[in-house]
Amino acid sequence: MRIAILSDVHGNLPAFEAVMGDVEDQSVEEVWCLGDLVGYGAQPDECVQFARDRCDMSLAGNHDLVVTGDIPISDFSASAAAAARWTQETISEETMAYLKGLEPADPGRDPALFHASPRDPVWEYVLSTWQAEECFEVTDARVAAVGHSHVALWINRDDEGNVSGAVADAGEERDLSGGRWLVNPGGVGQPRDGDPRAAWLLLDTSTWTAEWRRVEYPIEEAARAIEEAGLPHMLAERLFSGQ
């Protein structure tokens, strides 16, 4: 099965639409979202509706959970907290109801899905091989997909126990058919790996091959929406640098 895996939309509708346009061109059979449909961007209702229409499943991310009141807003940075409060005050009842129905993990799928990590599905940023090794110990899944860090990457433990990993460049392909893997598609709405293009992962489970894809989108449009909503300026500015 060919699956599109994406994460961290963060209310950025122009990026979400661009990614889904690319997804449509790749003969994908299902679309899975690893969470944070809302967050830093200014179009949360539109992104949630788009996910409801186009994604076959979605997880809850920490930014979704703070909006629903499941985790305290005091756990967030100043800019993230400001965006969360604005989102709480702005979204529709339908959007809130949808977010409340989401969970941060779906470990029974193949690959297993976690917003953040198998060890802590809500908060852990997996950015190192040692973290991935510890995550491998708490899941039976041979392949796990995570989001949350907004960084496209892969980490592999081969059959001899050797662990390696790296940030995944645009267009990079990996054979996941052997060993154990933790993969992150990168961020749709707010990439943080130095590449401002929207990111997603194409996974073919019939061959266990993965391709990390990047898509140009109108960043100016997303940034303007943030400014017009009165959200912190840095949330708009960082979109241009992918940081």
pLDDT tens, position by position, 170-211: 999 999 999 999 999 999 999 999 999 999 999 999 999 999
Q: Which tens digits make up the pLDDT trace of 47-86?
A: 999 999 999 999 999 999 999 999 999 999 999 999 999 9
Closest CA to 187 of 223, 144, 153: 153
Alpha helices in the chain (DSSP H): 13-24, 44-54, 62-68, 78-90, 93-100, 129-136, 219-228, 233-237
pLDDT, residue 83, reads 97
For the chain, domains (ranges, CATH) are 2-240 (3.60.21.10)
Mean pLDDT along residues 112-129:
96
Query: With bands split at pLDDT 50, 70 and 90, how would you rate the model's confidence at 221?
Result: very high
What is the side-by-side order of every strand in the sheet holding 152-157? 105-106, 112-114, 143-146, 180-185, 152-157, 163-167
- Quick check: 114 and 105 in contact, CB under 8 A? yes
- Whole-angstrom Cα Rg for the chain: 17
Q: Cα–Cα distance between 226 and 80 in angstroms, integer?
A: 13
**Residue holding tokens 């967030």?**
76
Helices and strands of the chain, counted as H and E runs? 8, 12
Q: Report the pLDDT value the prediction gives residue 57, as an integer from 0 to 100.
A: 97
pLDDT (mean) for 214-241: 97
